[in-house]
Amino acid sequence: MTLKRRDFLKSIGLATAALGLWDTGWPLLGDRYGQALAQPARRKLALLVGLDRYGSAARDCPPLRGCLMDLELQRQTLIYRYGFQPEDIVTLTDQAATRSAIETTFLEHLVQQARPDDVVVFHFSGYGSQIQGAEPDDLQPSLVAADSALPRSPRDQVNDLPLATLGLLLRALDCDRVITVLDTSHAIPPQTTPPLAVRWRSRLPSAQGDWNPDIVAVQDALRQRALRPQVPGLYLQGSDPHTPALELDLESFAVGAFTASLTQQLWQELPNNPLTVTWQRALSRLINVTGISQHPTLDGETSNRPSLGSWGLVPMSSQGVDGSITRVDSNGEVRLWFGGMSPTALKTLGYNSQFTVVTGEETGSVQPDSPSDPDRSPLSLKVQWRDRLTAAAYLTQGYPENLAQLAPGQGIQEKVRWLPRSPQLTIGLEPQLDRIERIDATSAFAAMGQVEAITMGDRAVDYVFGRLQALQSQSLNTNPDGSLSVSIHRYGLCAPGQEVLPGTISSADEAVKTAVQRLGSRFRSLLALKLLRSLINTDSTRVPLKLEFKDLTLDLPLARYVAERAVGLSPWYSWRNGSSALHFPLPQSHTLRYQCQNLGNQPLYGLLIATRPDGSFALGYPPSLNTAAQQPAKSWVFPPFSATIAIDYPSSLDWVVTTPTTAMELFCVVSTAPFPRTLQVLAPSWEDTFKPLRPVANPLGAIESLLEDLYQGSRGVLPPADAGDTVPLEVSQWAVVRLTGQVQG
């Protein structure tokens, strides 16, 4: 039986549902969360609870990997983005996070200290559960503490932390600016095991039995206090009662998908952004890493305040930042935290990556045609080494005289990104493959080049290779065609935690080596996609542009974007209405329009690259730019803002979605330099020069050429360097913005 949302809200003491992530389309989770943190307050208190290892008391809970990292993400955000004092943040982890310890610490640190003007944050990352009461429809949601063992007999008692108790604790607070974040879930999915390469934060199965008498005593004692009529503030849950919260592996560490997406957006948030923009971007981040399989919810009090700045206190940096300085040593070493970087950008971060320091002098905007100050040179840091989200860096110039200008809490923004010319694809071998299959698969992958096969669990993987039956039975989003028979000798690919990739399953039984060889061209397409995604710099680009993706049939904007860090970009040129999401419903048989506008005073050059789940690539190219046979393809030019757009250089592209597809990724590529190598690779494969979207025959060759073109565009503003196997790109010279469309229904 599934816990109903109304019963869930009633159990914790929330009178009504303010907004559910999927109930209203665009709830204001991110903005209201950020607003409450940004309000002026006498004191800011936080209690963070996370459990990766539950120990023998809760032996029914397999170890998690990302809960302690969730706490670190949250803690660093509170300290270096919103000015919490470290001594006002208390953490309980693993074996210390027993039920009674959580209750006692909440009372002592939050209830007894918080005053009416204070801000309080409570965060929990770990397993959730639901307790079956005496009646079949009596399901009570709970948090699984370190000593929450499943009852083994009718005499055993349930020792979870009921959400009803948490609700009473929250109602006992003497302040109304309260933010509760639960990166957990209570759903019991029909599958018995989580999807491949991810973990659920729902304890399976649900518990049944009587509550520990101590739990009842605590609730009775709390009811004797002067309680608020309902839970104050904002109540954020990692998933709704019907779907599990996911935990993902990212490089050498794991995170809760919800916590990671939320905190990344808070680092990037601007004080004056409309509230809907905040949430739509947070939602896009979550969808980019989980698909649409996780449905967070927001309940509690609402607000009509239009932006973070309207609460009277902005974050420590008034600009969106990729992280913060956390320590400055006298020997010149500067420690950095990269809480605002997306997973794809983080993978590229390493030796020689450069960041500029936001000192507070760079705030504000100027008109597009305003000249930049030639004497202004922001401090720049070069990374020497990185360990997960922490790095050590040094000033690129001005040491030691400029060291005194650096301080903990200053924001940092990406300046130079280094990318490999030949990316590596990591394939996980699903656990149900037998020994011979694994040996054959490893041998076949080793012969391919740029593709590596590893055992699942060793580290993060790009895709999973395995038997059809295993891939389908463990996929959250898969609905196999009933006519497709399941065989143990048919193999395919899936993304971590997601559905089988279309076109990767054979029509008959085959040997493992044959399957790997059959997928050779698909691996090349996936390599191209990985390289293309590594170019995404939506948050950090300084190219002055804005773009719109629109449904012309309904005259409805589907996605809008403006480069907020671009030099010379005035708020007047930002979008004033319409969707600011980068994820949108994909309409079928509608006319769609992509339009890019140059807001600077120099020409820009563009490409539009579309990809589908079946591995196909297409290039968006205006038919009016067609050239005669054997002639070089013309560049798609976006004229300066002050110029009249010439007929020969259109800034928009229209097409009709006619090919059946469940999803589409659009990569909007803009550069300060043209793309001669890319167009040279693409043009010979164009069969119909009047199609706005033209198939790409060699995706990997095209994207490798694109990387070289972008590198040539950056060489004019970077010091000479021996690039070798990696190339540096300067964020003021290129922009790659990803838009994702999903068919609804």
**Per-residue model confidence (pLDDT) at position 647:** 42
Are 552 and 688 part of one and the same domain?
yes
> 427-453, pLDDT tens digit by residue?
999 888 999 999 999 999 999 989 999
Domain assignment present for 523: no
CA dist., res. 361 & res. 363, Å (int)? 6
Task: With beta carbons less than 8 A apart as the criterion, state whether 121 and 106 touch.
Answer: no
Q: Where are the beta strands (DSSP E) in 662-733?
A: 663-671, 693-695, 726-730
The b/e string for 420-453 (b: 16+ C-beta within 10 A; e otherwise) is eeebebebbbbeebeeebbebbbebbeebeebeb
In a domain, 527, yes or no: no
Would you give the distance in Å from CA 101 to the centre of its chain? 32
Tell me the C-alpha distance between 148 and 407, whole Å: 43
Answer with the one of 304, 338, 353 that is the final residue of a domain: 304
Looking at the fold, whether 257 and 394 belong to one and the same domain comes out as no
What is the per-residue pLDDT for 646?
A: 39
User: Is 525 inside a domain boundary?
Assistant: no
Among 379, 394, 420, give the residue marking a domain's end. 420
- The verdict on 566 and 499 lying in the same domain is no
317, part of any domain: no
Residues 395 and 444 in one domain: no
Same domain? For 573 and 639 the reply is yes
Structure confidence at residue 9 (pLDDT): 62
Q: Is residue 312 part of a domain?
A: no
Report if residue 315 sits inside a domain: no
pLDDT of residue 326: 97
Do 564 and 467 lie in one domain? The reply is no
> CB-side exposure of 551: number of CA atoms within 13 Å?
15
Residues of the chain with pLDDT under 70: 1-41, 134, 136, 189-193, 273-276, 292, 301-314, 360-376, 458, 470, 472-488, 567-580, 626-631, 642-650, 657-661, 684-690, 720-723, 744-745
pTM of the model: 0.89
Please report the sign of the dihedral spanned by the C-alpha atoms of residue 56, residue 8, residue 195, residue 198: negative
Residue 203 within any structural domain of the chain: yes
For residues 410 and 439, membership in a common domain is answered with: no
Question: Do residue 458 and residue 565 come from a single domain?
Answer: no
Over the range 505-533, which residues count as b (16 or more CB within 10 Å of their CB) and which as e? Answer: bbeeebebeebbeebeebbbbbbbbbbbb
Q: What confidence score (pLDDT) does residue 115 get?
A: 93
Q: pLDDT of 125-153, one tens digit each?
A: 999 998 877 676 778 899 999 999 887 77
99 near 160, Cβ under 8 Å? Answer: yes
The token pair that represents 675 in the structure block: 């793309």
Domain boundary among 393, 420, 447: 420
Number of domains in the chain: 4
689 found inside a domain: yes
Q: Report the alpha-carbon distance of residue 129 to residue 147 in Å, rounded.
A: 14
Q: What pLDDT is attached to residue 360?
A: 61
Mark whether 452 and 413 lie in a shared domain: no
8-state DSSP, 500: B
Question: Cα separation of 400 and 110, whole Å?
Answer: 43
543 is in which domain, residue-wise? 532-742
Could you tell me if 273 and 335 lie in one domain?
Answer: no
Do 431 and 398 belong to one domain? no
**395: domain CATH number?**
2.40.10.170
CA atoms within 13 A on the CB side of 217: 5
Angle CA 219–225–227, to nearest 5: 90
